[in-house]
């Protein structure tokens, strides 16, 4: 119905003019309404044996029996705020969380299930008496996500798998049994006694379902108890304020109202508990807690306080209270009124003034012996009469020290002037823990967990202690984090931490406290993200919602659900959700159909703001989400295909920019998504895969690279795009060479020779950069490092002309590293370091390589401590920038430790590199790590291992891989010499020398000279040994490798 803006009368949706006053009606913006996604708890209860009952009793009698049964079940359900969804034959279906979500819906449902069973037991006594019959029921309880109609539309029907599972659990239960699902137990685990059942094979479920038999429910217990065993973290200032308030109370003998405000889980109760721990010897402490629902609970905190001081079952309550107040002349009158107030006596309701007087005198009496601290918790659920009572006590108590502490997140919604105008009142608002404090908290919870896992938990919790605790509990329950000895380890990757169900329930309840306009605005804001723009949220709303945007966001700021933040769009106000999990909870409440609509609208809004950084990526993401949600709800129609095509174009453009700035993770992510969205016959899909293929190669993932290029080549050939065919052919030829090197180099050269002129003719600067880099890799593999440097130098200007940061970076790194491994002097290496540093501001990953080369230069000069320091810094930078340790770092460390003669450390680094490269399928580079292990094993005296790894290198290496070919022969020659097979050793070392002469690699050739001396001495030929060592000195001197010059000269001097 459309409301007339002139007279307010509602009109039919299709009306253009008001039926009452004739005024034009505004055109409405289509929107999705009437549905909401919620996590609820569902109860199914069914009677067993009702057929036999009908056989014995008259239909009217059966109707009366069943009516009384339904009434008893309904009363038990509604007592705990549940909604009877429907009666199905003899079954009752109830939902907790519709229409209003409470954070303890699951516990309310379980309590209701227990009460239903007890109500039936009591009813059966009457039925036995009246009809000679009894009923037995089975109950199933499950928690999960459903779609529900808005109550304003009078659509209470809920649908979803959660409903089906609850019904199946009821069917699986035995008569008289209550079965609760595992999802429900997680939310009530500390309030129930249960035992596992199953797993159960339920109809319609593809996997068995774990269930639990409900045995008992603890009265008054929280569903999930807070952890209080971890060390107290942060909160030094509010703790000091609370303790100082106590000292002021003692000194001045005035009542002080101290209020602690803050969102759920931020640590209010823990702060008060920590303060009370230090006051235990000096003060009497009494506690009361407001209940979230129930009958006769107005003064429930006072009931708990009285029970705390006189005992749970004092007999004559008034006399017990009076005994505590002997020094008060009004003790009898005070005791009578307090007992009446808390239910100990019956009579007429007391006037508010008498209530305040009696409670004040009662508390003053308790405080005569020593200071009294009264703690009232969860005051957000306090009724108006209780809040008035607290006001009176804090205003009128005198002479006797009383400190009233209260913890409450949203108290100001009930009393905006709370604590105002009082002489002795303090209010502190707890903010989230700082990142440093949150890290300490998480470390206390899961001591020893690795930095990455701890950071993920800290990021997810955003400073809320309860969120951190529940996130840890969820990860432990799910086996994602497990204890090993005295430390915790992550058993799997924590790339994304989901919202714990306990926190999801708490946040959903908080959202349900908002009015419709505020809740709708948060849903639209959540589509934008944790940081959102007011203009975008306004645009996403329907016509009737837009007028409320400004007013609603102000209310949300006042409630501390969102906060203003800096905007990166000129002219747009920006806000941030107070907590990221709140944004996720608001988003989860939106039906998928509405999400699809809002994501598409947001993409259009973002596209109209071209100044936004990463605009293509954001627009593409929202179009992609719109497409995905439409696909989940219906067929892939023309509208959906259009969304997919638009999303692919945007994501592909974003991937190209990521490739240009050499952002490997972003390029991979965006290219994969773009390719997946494209139609099979879209020619651009081949180009998405080509970019992805080169980035996979840059990430050392040779097998995936080869598969990607094969797919790209097939697509390019199918569409006839010659340039795409050329690029894909190069990748499809280059990638297999990394996996199976033999003969691959010749195939690449054969392809490159005719390809280079074609690329020149097309003016394909990017293609030329790639081609020259590929050719440099052939020279590199043949250990012709100066040739590799020349090809890299050719590639760099082409890459810069194309704006191709990835291949500019690869060429810079390959050329500089080739010089370090090859003939470049130490001084030249340091010049290359300076060049890399100058470009590191553009390509941050170059910083990793510059540190690597600087480390190598220091190692060659014998400064191993500085070399190791730089090597460690290189690894840290790589982990930060690349998100991983590059496999090339392991070979660099092997060279460093080999130069330092720490051969055990060297072998360890070679082993890490070998294992990782083999896991990627990169045989070409793994074979080099195999021979490195052979060299280190020989120097450690592990000769069997040396031969094993030398054999592995021989088997894996291509025949044109010069360094591997002469390196494994050198190791094997020394092993043969040790065994007395000198002729074979000499023959093999000569083969190695012949192969090495075609290369300009430095360390391997120097090591070969050293090994040649070993073989010569074993053969009784000192002159040959001296000649080999003199050659080693010459190599080292030209390189500037001081440490190796000295080492060779010392050995020469000993001959």
108 vs 32: CA distance, rounded Å: 31
Residue 152 pLDDT exceeds 60: no
- For residue 128, cis peptide bond before it (omega within 30 degrees of 0): no
C-beta of residue 659 within 8 angstroms of C-beta of residue 806: yes
Q: Which tokens sit at 992?
A: 């190695």
Pairing of strands 481-484, 487-490: antiparallel
| Cβ count within 10 A of residue 21 | 11
Q: Which of 206-220, 286-300, 899-913 has the highest mean pLDDT?
A: 899-913
Mean pLDDT over 213-220 rounds to 90
Each residue's pLDDT tens digit, 364-410: 888 888 888 999 888 888 888 888 888 888 888 876 667 676 666 67
440 vs 851: CA distance, rounded Å: 32
Name the pLDDT band for 108 (thresholds 50, 70, 90): very high
Q: Which residues contact 1032 (CB under 8 A, 6 or more apart)?
A: 1006, 1009, 1010, 1013, 1044, 1048
Nearest C-alpha neighbor of 197 from the set 182, 218, 176: 182
Residue 202 pLDDT exceeds 90: no
C-beta of residue 855 within 8 angstroms of C-beta of residue 889: no
Q: Token pair 């293609």 is at which residue?
A: 767
Name the pLDDT band for 1038 (thresholds 50, 70, 90): very high
Q: What is the pLDDT of residue 978?
A: 92
C-alpha distances in Å from residue 62, one per residue of 121, 352, 372: 18, 50, 60
Each residue's pLDDT tens digit, 796-839: 999 999 999 899 999 999 999 888 888 899 999 999 999 999 88
Q: What is the pLDDT of residue 921?
A: 83
Residue 312 pLDDT exceeds 70: no
1013 vs 61: CA distance, rounded Å: 110
Residue 143 pLDDT exceeds 90: yes
Residue 25 pLDDT exceeds 70: no
Please state, rounded to an integer, the average pLDDT across all residues of the chain.
Answer: 86
Q: Give percent of the chain above pLDDT 90.
A: 40
Mean pLDDT over 992-999 rounds to 90
Q: What is the pLDDT of residue 148?
A: 84
Q: What is the pLDDT of residue 158?
A: 83
Strand, coil or helix: 422: coil
Q: Among 300-309, 346-355, 623-632, 850-859, which is the least confidently predicted range?
A: 346-355
Q: What is the pLDDT of residue 651?
A: 94
Nearest C-alpha neighbor of 916 from the set 896, 934, 930: 930
Q: What is the pLDDT of residue 191?
A: 92
Residue 18 pLDDT exceeds 70: no
Name the pLDDT band for 160 (thresholds 50, 70, 90): confident
Q: Which tokens sit at 218?
A: 């603890």
Note the Cα 629 to chain centre separation in Å.
22
What phi-psi label fits residue 788: left (phi over 0), alpha (psi between -120 and 50 degrees) or beta?
A: alpha
State the Cα angle at 187 between 186 and 192, rounded to 5°.
Answer: 85
Residue 315 pLDDT exceeds 80: no
Residue 419 pLDDT exceeds 60: yes
Residue 951 pLDDT exceeds 70: yes
Name the pLDDT band for 32 (thresholds 50, 70, 90): very low
- The maximal CA–CA distance of the chain, rounded, in angstroms, is 121
- Please state the CATH superfamily assignment of the domain spanning residues 35-217 in this structure: Nucleotide cyclase, GGDEF domain (3.30.70.1230)
pTM above 0.85, yes or no: no
Each residue's pLDDT tens digit, 242-252: 999 898 888 88
Mean pLDDT over 276-305 rounds to 85
Phi, psi of 287 (to 5 degrees): -135, 145
State the Cα angle at 247 between 242 and 252, rounded to 5°.
Answer: 125
C-beta of residue 651 within 8 angstroms of C-beta of residue 673: yes
Each residue's pLDDT tens digit, 695-718: 998 887 888 999 999 999 999 999
Strand, coil or helix: 417: coil
More confident residue, 403 or 685: 685
Q: Which tokens sit at 548?
A: 């409320």
Nearest C-alpha neighbor of 185 from the set 479, 501, 447, 586: 501
Buried b / exposed e over 643-658, threshold 16 CB at 10 Å, is bbbbbbbbbbbbbbbb
554 vs 563: CA distance, rounded Å: 9
Residue 150 pLDDT exceeds 70: no
Strand, coil or helix: 566: coil
Radius of gyration of the chain (CA): 38
| Cβ count within 10 A of residue 900 | 17
Q: What is the pLDDT of residue 670?
A: 93
C-beta of residue 913 within 8 angstroms of C-beta of residue 891: yes
Q: Which tokens sit at 114?
A: 């227990």
Residue 91, CB-side half-sphere exposure with 13 Å CA sphere: 17
| Signed CA dihedral, 1045, 1047, 1048, 1050: sign only | positive
C-beta of residue 914 within 8 angstroms of C-beta of residue 926: yes
Q: Which tokens sit at 629?
A: 């949600």
CATH architecture of 958-1055: Alpha Horseshoe (1.25)
> What is the DSSP-derived secondary structure letter of residue 152?
G
562 vs 533: CA distance, rounded Å: 12
Name the pLDDT band for 33 (thresholds 50, 70, 90): very low
Each residue's pLDDT tens digit, 748-800: 999 999 999 999 999 999 999 999 999 999 898 888 999 999 999 999 999 99
β-bridge mates for residue 95, sequence order? 42, 83
Strand, coil or helix: 111: helix
Phi, psi of 209 (to 5 degrees): -110, 130
Q: Which residues contact 403 (CB under 8 A, 6 or more apart)?
A: 245, 246, 249, 255, 256, 258, 283, 371, 372, 373, 374
1033 vs 306: CA distance, rounded Å: 93
E runs forming strands in 189-336: 192-200, 209-217, 256-261, 284-289
Residue 13 pLDDT exceeds 50: no
Strand, coil or helix: 35: strand
C-alpha distances in Å from residue 696, one per residue of 192, 667, 739, 748, 777: 52, 9, 13, 18, 16
C-beta of residue 470 within 8 angstroms of C-beta of residue 461: no
| Cβ count within 10 A of residue 841 | 9
Name the pLDDT band for 479 (thresholds 50, 70, 90): confident
Residue 330, CB-side half-sphere exposure with 13 Å CA sphere: 13
Q: Which tokens sit at 100?
A: 């209003």
Mean pLDDT over 738-755 rounds to 85
811 vs 789: CA distance, rounded Å: 8
128 vs 73: CA distance, rounded Å: 18
In this structure, the chain runs to a length of 1055
C-beta of residue 763 within 8 angstroms of C-beta of residue 797: no
Nearest C-alpha neighbor of 399 from the set 327, 306, 309, 339: 327
828 vs 780: CA distance, rounded Å: 18
CA dihedral 819, 823, 828, 831 (to 10 degrees): 0
Strand, coil or helix: 371: coil
Residue 801, CB-side half-sphere exposure with 13 Å CA sphere: 13
More confident residue, 590 or 499: 590
Q: What is the pLDDT of residue 733?
A: 92
Pairing of strands 136-149, 35-48: antiparallel
Each residue's pLDDT tens digit, 255-284: 888 988 888 888 888 888 888 888 888 888
- CATH 3.40.605.10 correct for 236-429: no
Domain spans in the chain, listed from the N-terminal domain onward: 1-30, 35-217, 236-429, 435-498, 591-595+621-682, 900-954, 958-1055
C-beta of residue 708 within 8 angstroms of C-beta of residue 924: no
One-character DSSP codes across 624-640: HHHHHHHHHHS---HHH
953 vs 70: CA distance, rounded Å: 79
């Amino acid at each position: 119905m459309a409301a007339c803006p002139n007279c307010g009368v509602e009109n039919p949706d299709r009306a253009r003019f008001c039926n009452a006053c004739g005024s034009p009606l505004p055109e409405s913006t289509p929107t999705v309404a009437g549905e909401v996604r919620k996590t609820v708890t569902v109860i199914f209860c069914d009677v067993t044996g009702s057929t036999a009952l009908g056989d014995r009793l008259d239909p009217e009698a059966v109707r009366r029996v069943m009516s009384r049964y339904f009434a008893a079940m309904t009363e038990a359900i509604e007592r705990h705020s549940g909604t009877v969804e429907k009666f199905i034959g003899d079954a009752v279906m109830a939902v907790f969380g519709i229409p209003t979500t409470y954070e303890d819906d699951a516990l309310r449902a379980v309590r209701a299930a227990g009460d239903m069973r007890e109500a039936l037991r009591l009813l059966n006594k009457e039925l036995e008496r009246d009809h000679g019959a009894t009923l037995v029921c089975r109950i199933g309880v499950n928690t999960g996500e459903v779609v529900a109609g808005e109550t304003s539309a009078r659509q209470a029907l809920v649908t979803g798998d959660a409903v089906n599972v609850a019904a199946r659990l009821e069917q699986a239960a035995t008569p008289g049994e209550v079965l609760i699902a595992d999802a429900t137990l997680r939310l009530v685990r500390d309030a129930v006694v249960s035992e596992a059942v199953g797993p159960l094979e339920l109809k319609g479920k593809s996997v068995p379902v774990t269930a639990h038999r409900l045995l008992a429910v603890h009265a008054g217990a929280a569903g999930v108890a807070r952890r209080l065993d971890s060390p107290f973290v942060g909160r030094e200032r509010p703790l000091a304020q609370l303790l100082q308030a106590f000292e002021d109370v003692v000194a001045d003998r005035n009542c002080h109202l101290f209020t602690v405000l803050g969102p759920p889980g931020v640590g209010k109760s823990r702060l008060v508990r920590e303060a009370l721990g230090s006051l235990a010897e000096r003060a009497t402490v009494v506690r009361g807690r407001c209940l979230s629902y129930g009958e006769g609970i107005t003064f429930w905190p006072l009931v708990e306080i009285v029970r705390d001081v006189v005992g749970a079952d004092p007999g004559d309550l008034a006399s017990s209270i009076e005994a505590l107040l002997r020094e008060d002349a009004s003790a009898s009158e005070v005791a009578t009124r307090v007992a009446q107030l808390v239910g100990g006596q019956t009579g007429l309701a007391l006037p508010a003034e008498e209530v305040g007087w009696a409670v004040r005198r009662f508390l003053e009496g308790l405080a005569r012996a020593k200071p009294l601290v009264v703690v009232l918790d969860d005051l957000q659920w306090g009724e108006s009469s209780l809040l008035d009572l607290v006001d009176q006590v804090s205003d009128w108590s005198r002479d006797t020290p009383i400190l009233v502490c209260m913890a409450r997140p949203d108290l100001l919604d009930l009393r905006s002037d709370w604590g105002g105008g009082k002489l002795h009142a303090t209010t502190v608002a707890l903010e989230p823990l700082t990142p440093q404090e949150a890290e300490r908290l998480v470390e206390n919870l899961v001591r020893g967990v690795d930095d990455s896992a701890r950071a993920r938990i800290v990021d997810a919790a955003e400073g809320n202690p309860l969120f951190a605790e529940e996130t840890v509990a969820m990860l432990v329950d799910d086996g994602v984090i497990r204890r090993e000895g005295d430390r915790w380890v992550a058993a799997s990757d924590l790339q994304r931490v989901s919202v714990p169900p306990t926190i999801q329930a708490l946040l959903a309840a908080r959202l349900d406290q908002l009015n419709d306009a505020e809740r709708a605005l948060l849903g639209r804001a959540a589509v934008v993200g944790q940081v959102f723009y007011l203009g975008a949220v306004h645009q996403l709303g329907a016509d009737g919602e837009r007028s409320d945007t400004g007013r609603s966001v102000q209310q949300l700021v006042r409630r501390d659900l969102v906060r203003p933040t800096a905007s990166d769009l000129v002219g747009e106000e920006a806000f941030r959700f107070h907590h990221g999990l709140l944004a996720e909870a608001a988003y989860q409440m939106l039906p998928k159909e509405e999400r699809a609509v809002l994501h598409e609208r947001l993409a259009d809004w973002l596209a109209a703001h071209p100044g936004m950084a990463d605009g293509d990526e954001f627009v593409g993401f929202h179009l992609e989400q719109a497409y995905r949600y439409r696909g989940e709800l219906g067929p892939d129609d023309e509208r959906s295909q259009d969304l997919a095509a638009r999303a692919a174009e945007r994501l592909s453009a974003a991937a190209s920019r990521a490739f240009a700035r050499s952002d490997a993770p972003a390029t991979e992510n965006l290219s994969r998504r773009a390719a997946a969205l494209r139609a099979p016959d879209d020619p651009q899909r081949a180009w998405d895969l080509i970019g992805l293929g080169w980035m996979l190669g840059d990430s050392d993932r040779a097998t995936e690279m080869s598969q990607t290029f094969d797919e790209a080549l097939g697509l390019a050939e199918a569409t006839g795009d010659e340039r795409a065919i050329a690029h894909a052919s190069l990748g499809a030829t280059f990638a297999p060479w990394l996996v199976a090197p033999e003969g691959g180099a010749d195939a690449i050269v054969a392809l490159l020779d005719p390809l280079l002129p074609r690329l020149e003719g097309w003016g394909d600067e990017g293609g030329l950069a790639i081609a020259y880099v590929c050719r440099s890799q052939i020279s590199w593999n043949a250990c012709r490092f100066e040739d590799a440097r020349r090809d890299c130098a050719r590639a760099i200007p082409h890459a810069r002309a194309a704006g191709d940061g990835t291949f500019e970076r690869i060429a810079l790194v390959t050329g500089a590293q080739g010089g370090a491994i090859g003939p470049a002097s130490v001084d030249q290496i340091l010049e290359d370091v300076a060049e890399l540093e100058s470009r590191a501001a553009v390509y941050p990953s170059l910083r990793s390589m510059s540190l690597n080369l600087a480390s190598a230069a220091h190692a060659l000069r014998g400064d191993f401590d500085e070399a190791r320091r730089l090597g460690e810094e290189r690894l840290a930078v790589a982990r930060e920038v690349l998100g991983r340790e590059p496999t090339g770092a392991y070979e660099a460390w092997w060279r460093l430790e080999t130069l330092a003669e720490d051969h055990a450390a060297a072998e360890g680094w070679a082993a890490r590199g070998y294992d990782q490269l083999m896991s990627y399928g990169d045989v070409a580079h793994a074979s080099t790590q195999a021979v490195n292990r052979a060299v280190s094993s020989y120097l450690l005296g592990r000769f069997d291992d040396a031969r094993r790894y030398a054999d592995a290198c021989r088997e894996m290496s291509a025949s044109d891989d010069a360094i591997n070919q002469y390196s494994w022969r050198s190791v094997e020659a020394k092993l043969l010499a040790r065994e007395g097979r000198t002729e074979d050793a000499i023959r093999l070392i000569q083969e190695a020398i012949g192969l090495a002469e075609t290369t300009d690699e430095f360390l391997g050739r120097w090591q070969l000279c050293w090994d040649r001396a070993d073989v010569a001495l074993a053969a009784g030929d000192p002159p040959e040994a001296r000649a080999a060592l003199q050659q080693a000195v010459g190599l080292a001197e030209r390189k500037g490798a001081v440490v190796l010059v000295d080492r060779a000269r010392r050995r020469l001097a000993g001959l």
